[in-house]
């Protein structure tokens, strides 16, 4: 497995990997890998001839006072996991390699990046869309793999790739969960013991919402059920509960006749957890 810390090395390796028309799959990550990341790697291996994983904790997608410094890191363990999974190359740059001091160009879908999580974390999706654009330009993948866990992020990246005619297929991979329902996340290790025990409430609340939508309940009532279920957990600070059109992320009213995505953001102490689930109402089934 090749490990590259510079863009020029990564580009040179890319050219070698793509010899004889081999296809390249890219899995962008911020490291501290878990089963969710490895599911993306598996999919990339199944669909592409060569797999490149990037590990970069991207400073521009963290707001002031967010957890950039505290974000968990363990590069040696990450590299061992990727080696075991048969990854061909890892791109492991530092921030100075990625961002020239006078960098000023930003990629941002004007509307999609400012709703939902984009309102909670201003500038976050501009940071995400810009780094993903740069990674696409550096690695030149045929396909790139992202988790449905970050539902809005996946939609943002698909919009950017389409709007800017990027020659990359953007693939979504289902959420991987712990046995108790908690969506795997690098941030889970930052939860206290009590908060870790309480955190599966996100999944439990989503199940409540799904049952309500499937039973024909309206979005307002279903959303209230979800919120009440979340509030049963001690210390859960509910940041947002949004039920939206699963395809467009636009608000819905009344009894939905199309797939609904339920998007949650809940804080435990200083750890922000997000989760989501799609529910198909009877009307649309």
Q: What are the residues binding ligand AMP (CB under 6 A)? A: 29-30, 36-37, 39-40, 146-147, 149-150, 173, 175-176, 183-186
Other beta carbons within 10 angstroms of residue 137's beta carbon come to 11
Least separation in angstroms between CB 87 and ligand AMP: 14
Q: Which is nearer to ligand AMP, 175 or 212 (CB)?
A: 175
Least separation in angstroms between CB 285 and ligand AMP: 25
Least separation in angstroms between CB 135 and ligand AMP: 11
SS3 content of the chain, % helix, strand, coil (to 5): 40, 20, 40
Least separation in angstroms between CB 156 and ligand AMP: 11
Other beta carbons within 10 angstroms of residue 73's beta carbon come to 13
Q: Which is nearer to ligand AMP, 205 or 219 (CB)?
A: 205
Active site residue 34: no
Least separation in angstroms between CB 28 and ligand AMP: 6
> How far apart, in whole angstroms, are the C-alpha atoms of residue 155 and residue 113?
9
> How far apart, in whole angstroms, are the C-alpha atoms of residue 222 and residue 226?
6
> How far apart, in whole angstroms, are the C-alpha atoms of residue 258 and residue 153?
21
Catalytic residue among 4, 37, 124, 203: 37
> How far apart, in whole angstroms, are the C-alpha atoms of residue 43 and residue 284?
29
Q: Which is nearer to ligand AMP, 161 or 173 (CB)?
A: 173
As to burial, measured by CB atoms within 10 angstroms (0-12 exposed, 13-18 middle, 19+ buried), residue 128 is buried
DSSP string across 132-159: HHHHHHHH--SEEEEETTSHHHHHHHHH
3-class SS of residue 167: coil
Q: Which residues 6+ apart lie within 8 Å of 74 measured at CB?
A: 31, 32
Q: Which is nearer to ligand AMP, 133 or 186 (CB)?
A: 186
Q: Which is nearer to ligand AMP, 93 or 223 (CB)?
A: 93
Least separation in angstroms between CB 57 and ligand AMP: 8
> How far apart, in whole angstroms, are the C-alpha atoms of residue 53 and residue 32?
13
Strands 271-279 and 236-245: unpaired
Q: Which is nearer to ligand AMP, 150 or 217 (CB)?
A: 150
Positions marked active-site: 37
């Amino acid at each position: 497995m090749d490990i590259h810390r510079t863009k020029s090395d990564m580009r040179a390796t890319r050219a070698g990997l793509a010899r004889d028309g081999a296809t390249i799959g890219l899995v962008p990550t911020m490291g501290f890998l878990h089963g969710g990341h490895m599911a993306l790697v598996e999919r990339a291996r199944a669909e592409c001839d060569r797999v490149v994983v990037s590990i970069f904790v991207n400073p521009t997608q963290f707001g002031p006072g967010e957890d950039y410094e505290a974000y968990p890191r363990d590069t040696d363990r990450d590299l061992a996991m990727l080696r075991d999974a048969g990854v061909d190359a890892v791109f492991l740059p530092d921030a100075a390699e990625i961002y020239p001091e006078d960098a000023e160009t930003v990629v941002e879908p004007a509307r999609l990046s400012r709703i939902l999580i984009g309102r909670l974390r201003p500038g976050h999706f501009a940071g995400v869309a810009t780094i993903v654009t740069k990674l696409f330009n550096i690695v030149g993948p045929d396909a790139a793999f992202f988790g449905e866990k970050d539902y809005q992020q996946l939609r943002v990246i698909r919009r950017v790739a389409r709007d800017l005619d990027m020659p990359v297929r953007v693939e979504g991979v289902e959420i991987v969960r712990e046995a108790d329902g908690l969506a795997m996340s690098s941030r889970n290790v930052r939860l206290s013991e009590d908060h870790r025990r309480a955190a599966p409430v996100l999944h439990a609340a989503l199940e409540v919402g799904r049952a309500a939508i499937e039973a024909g309940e309206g979005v307002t009532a279903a959303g209230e059920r979800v919120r009440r279920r979340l509030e049963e957990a001690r210390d859960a600070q509910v940041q947002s509960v949004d039920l939206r059109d699963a395809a467009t992320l636009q608000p819905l009213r009344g009894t939905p006749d199309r797939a609904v995505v339920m998007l949650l953001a809940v804080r435990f102490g200083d750890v922000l957890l997000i989760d989501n689930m799609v529910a198909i109402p009877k009307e649309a089934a």
